[in-house]
Amino acid sequence: MADDDVDDRDLTRDAMQQNHLDGELKWVEDGEELLDYLNRRGRFSDPSAAPRPGIILLDLNMPRLDGREALREIKAHPELRRIPIIVLSTSSAEEDVQRSYELGANCFITKPGTFDRLVEVIRVLGEHWLQTATLPRTSPA
């Protein structure tokens, strides 16, 4: 999950735990850190500390490098483009929705206003992306 808001990260983690989604969660705070993680640069250079994610939850509005630019770079990369990206943003602006899909997002969800609704959104995401959908295998590269 790439999100600069600590509260949003904590609430999402708690919603995942409530839904018994036990996968390994990794957190980064902005698009630049996400690209470092995916490309195993800097503090993420050890492959065991930076396994390829099966799914990326991406906030749009982050410092340094926003989610739109990170999305563009990920989807332009031959190996990374296969990773499903779910935009999870406070924005509900039509231009953000359209642009996210144009850049290759697999899903766009406006962050819900209550924790109960977030738990439900995470349940549905987990059901679809982790139980129903067949995802590409992640490469060790």
Tens of pLDDT, residue by residue over 78-137, are: 989 999 999 999 988 999 999 999 999 999 999 999 999 999 999 999 888 887 777 777
Is the pTM value of this prediction over 0.85?
A: yes
At residue 14, does pLDDT exceed 60? yes
**High-pLDDT (> 90) share of the chain, %:** 72
**CA dihedral of 16, 18, 24, 30, whole degrees rounded to 10:** 30
**More confident call, 112 vs 24:** 112
At residue 139, does pLDDT exceed 80? no
Strand partners, 110: 89
For residue 138, the model assigns a pLDDT of: 63
DSSP letter, residue 81? G
Q: How confident is the prediction for the chain on average, in pLDDT? A: 90
Mean pLDDT over 11-27 rounds to 88
Strand partners, 28: 2
Q: Does the domain at residues 6-130 carry the CATH identifier 3.40.50.2300?
A: yes
For residue 140, the model assigns a pLDDT of: 52
**Domain extents in the chain:** 6-130
Alpha-carbon span 93 to 3, nearest angstrom:
18
Mean pLDDT over 10-15 rounds to 92
